[in-house]
A and B are shown apart, each in its own frame.
Chain A
Amino acid sequence: MSDTHAPTVTFVRDTMLPPVLPPAGERGAIKWMRENLFSSPLNIVLTVLGVLIIWWLISASLPWWLNSVWNAESLSQCREIVAASAGEGATGACWAMIRERWHQFLFGFYPPDQWWRPILALGLLFAALIPVLFSEQKRNLTIVLVAVAVYLLVTLYLAAAPGLPFVLALVLVAGMLALAQVQPGKLIWFTLIYPALCFWLLWGGSIWAPIVAMAGFAVLYLVFRLAAPLIGLAPAAGAGLVAAVLWWLYLEAPVAGGLQSAIPVALQSINSDQFGGFLLAFVIGVTGIIFSLPIGILLALGRQSDMLIVKSLSVGFIEFIRGVPLITLLFTASLLLQYFLPPGTNFDIILRVIILVTFFAAAYLAEVIRGGLAALPRGQYEAADALGLDYWRAQRLIILPQALKISIPAIVSTFIGLFKDTTLVAFVGLMDPLKGVTQIVRADIDWKGIYWEPYIFVGFIFFLICFGMSRYSMYLERKLKTDHR
């Protein structure tokens, strides 16, 4: 400062000033506390309040956590142990219930000797997802496949899987690993057959039923390829669809039956009412997520369309689904679907619930994706047009990649919502982990009156999964941010 008081206006600095540290009060923990906790009277009050709340929470729950009991047969035994160790009137968590009933929370009434099947299906799910997530990035494919192999090795051993499927599963993953090194693009075929494989693993029965059902798609493709040169693309697609429907309606059952009697390969058949816990939540949630995305995209495109009829049908569907609570749709699945389908049709309640849950999620996704579509500048559509791309190519190559990217956070929170909402299937008699299984546990005379422990256990698992998903979407959003400097 003193420099500027020099007698003349001209000023030239001849020595540069070195940087110095700020005064003591401006650094270190003291500064941090002053800035972050005690910067104003209001902040001081808030800090004190915060400390009080934390103190109250800890003092109320800490003894309960510290006195946890892991080994007991019943709630009353738990209480005796707590009373004996911590004195009369002390509280303590009774995790012994989880120790005894964890399998119901995870698998419901799925037979214990078959647990390896859902475990295997979960591992292969990741193997089936990666070709979609990472397309041809060899490094990521390899990492995930190795992780899947390790997961399967450990869990299948723990679940005492029989030797043959154990070996087959590892051979499958090893084969995929090899393929990933040579031709990673081909891995997508596993993704395509995974739904049938997963269905067969979970519900069991003859292996030929899912294979013959998948063969319907092959019929569709074959008819399409044969007919396309003769009658044009669109009619050929129609013909293929008709052929496939005919296949499913009339040929599927006899062909599958015939093959089964010729070469019997079957897993023990599991009924839907034996599904429960997180297994059920995963089956409904994952299927709903996977099938709702394409439907949601189509609905969003329909809603953005210039064609009045397509637009109004899309709007009608979306607004109807979004306007009613999920629970009424679930009741529709359990009570009304039987009215809408041809007399005598009766199919699985889980499947019915999945269909309605998929519609539900698709309507919400459609709105989310529509937001992404609307956020794109018109110039993008015009540039695609000017380059001569047709509608579907413009959508697939230019519009949707950007629209979906913009909407990733909202899409993931829709998925999180869907996964949380799978608990509502309890109200149509399915055994979800939260209400269904907990009710069964609490109905047991040994565990009557227990409430904190099951809810904390289930809530914690839900939290891990949902919180993980939302953090992953934030990471993805940052990673994909290419349009900013």
Chain B
Amino acid sequence: MADAAKMQVSDEVAIQITGMNKWYGQFHVLRDINMTVQRGERIVICGPSGSGKSTLIRCINRLEEHQQGQIIVDGTELTNDLKNIDKVRSEVGMVFQHFNLFPHLTILENLTLAPIWVRKVPKREAEETAMYFLSKVKIPEQAHKYPGQLSGGQQQRVAIARSLCMKPRIMLFDEPTSALDPEMIKEVLDTMIQLAQEGMTMICVTHEMGFAQAVANRVIFMDQGQIVEQNEPKEFFNNPKSDRTKLFLSQILGH
């Protein structure tokens, strides 16, 4: 497995978040988030449930709206302008906890839908791309089945391939393995590691600490809507600074 440090990180900024705040009604879910992601960087966000980590990455492609501060993705600022939102969404891929494949479409149709309708790619070309990515996630033989006929791990790999078909420059992973059975987690993680080695900019919300140690440049620990600590994986796991981090790590690594 490649060492994280060896993978190259460019100086170019992919995502810039400054002073971002978000509320659900009275509840302050994200508090003064500042964060810069370089192109090619792989960031793992962890933290207890309800700490706002999912909300944070959902803000990055505007599935959630932030109320204060600035989010700039690939040079496009996320404002209320629909054109900007469309632009960011076509640049940023997202993988969900519950896969969210479209059950009424075959795997191949799931993969070609957005390229055809959003990117306006010709159908044949879209299908070729789709098959390429399906073989990359190692399930080209499932192309004509329906999502319901696949196992959870296969579905999640299809979901990853579906995002990749849009040729995104940034990938967001929202707890991609937490809805999976243990024996399927590995196949999904392998796919993600492969993606990381190819230099994709990735932000993953996950509790897979092995994955974090293997590929992440940075681990961000969040609690109560704030970034509590961030560090290189080695330092983060071996020498956590904050008491909250220590407590969290002892809970998830303790058993």
Contacts and interface: CB of A to CB of B under 8 A. Distances in A.
B117 A393 contact: yes
A393 B119 CA distance: 13
Contacts of B114: 387-389
B239 interface: no
Contacts of B117: 389, 393, 397
Given A401-B104, A402-B102, A484-B148, A387 B113 contact: yes
Interface residues of B, number: 28
A335 interface: no
Contacts of A393: 117-118
A158 interface: no
Nearest to B147: A483
Contacts of B162: 387
Nearest to A387: B114
A385 interface: yes
Interface in A375-416: 377, 379-380, 382-383, 385-390, 393, 397-398, 401-402, 405
B219 interface: no
Contacts of A380: 100, 102
A387 B113 CA distance: 9
B93 to A, nearest CB: 8
Nearest to B148: A483
Nearest to B114: A387
Contacts of A484: 148
A379 B114 CA distance: 16
B61 interface: yes
A323 B100 CA distance: 38
A485 interface: yes
A482 interface: yes
B166 A387 contact: yes
B149 interface: yes
A407 to B, nearest CB: 13
B104 A483 contact: yes
A387 B91 CA distance: 9
A389 B98 CA distance: 19
A405 B86 CA distance: 28
B63 A382 contact: yes
A379 B117 CA distance: 19
A280 B120 CA distance: 46
B89 interface: yes
Nearest to B103: A483
B146 interface: yes
A388 B89 contact: yes
Interface in A18-40: none
Nearest to B119: A388
Interface string A427-464: 00000000000000000000000000000000000000
A273 B101 CA distance: 54
A250 B101 CA distance: 51
A485 B96 contact: no
Given A383-B102, A388-B166, A389-B118, A482 B89 contact: no
A386 B118 CA distance: 11
Contacts of A401: 104
Given A379-B96, A379-B98, A483 B146 contact: yes
B195 to A, nearest CB: 17
B96 A382 contact: yes
B90 A388 contact: yes
Interface in A203-246: none
A485 B96 CA distance: 22
A390 to B, nearest CB: 7
Interface in B61-99: 61, 63, 82, 86, 89-90, 92-94, 96, 98-99
Contacts of B98: 377, 379
Contact of B103 (A385, A386, A390, A482): A482
Nearest to B162: A387
A482 B105 CA distance: 8
A485 B149 contact: yes
A399 to B, nearest CB: 10
B217 to A, nearest CB: 24
Given A380-B100, A482-B104, A483-B147, A385 B113 contact: no
A405 B105 CA distance: 12
Contacts of A483: 103-104, 146-148
Contact of A386 (B89, B99, B147, B148): B89
A17 B92 CA distance: 63
Which of A383, A386, A402, A483 has the most chain B CB atoms closer than 10 A to its own CB?
A386
B104 A382 contact: no
B96 to A, nearest CB: 6
Nearest to B101: A383
B32 to A, nearest CB: 26
Interface string B37-68: 00000000000000000000000010100000
A401 B94 CA distance: 23
A483 B104 CA distance: 7
Nearest to A401: B104
A388 B162 CA distance: 12
A405 B104 CA distance: 9
Interface in B102-148: 102-104, 113-114, 117-118, 146-148
Which of B86, B89, B90, B166 has the most chain A CB atoms closer than 10 A to its own CB?
B89
A409 B100 CA distance: 25
Given A393-B117, A482-B148, A483-B146, A388 B86 contact: yes
A130 to B, nearest CB: 21
Nearest 9 pairs between A and B by C-beta?
A483-B103, A383-B100, A379-B100, A388-B89, A387-B114, A386-B94, A388-B90, A483-B148, A482-B146
14 contacts: A379-B98, A382-B63, A382-B96, A385-B63, A386-B61, A386-B63, A386-B92, A389-B113, A405-B104, A482-B146, A482-B148, A483-B103, A485-B148, A485-B149
Interface of B: 61, 63, 82, 86, 89-90, 92-94, 96, 98-104, 113-114, 117-118, 146-149, 162-163, 166
Interface of A: 377, 379-380, 382-383, 385-390, 393, 397-398, 401-402, 405, 482-485
Given A379-B96, A387-B89, 9 more contacts: A385-B61, A386-B61, A386-B92, A387-B166, A388-B86, A388-B89, A389-B114, A402-B103, A405-B104
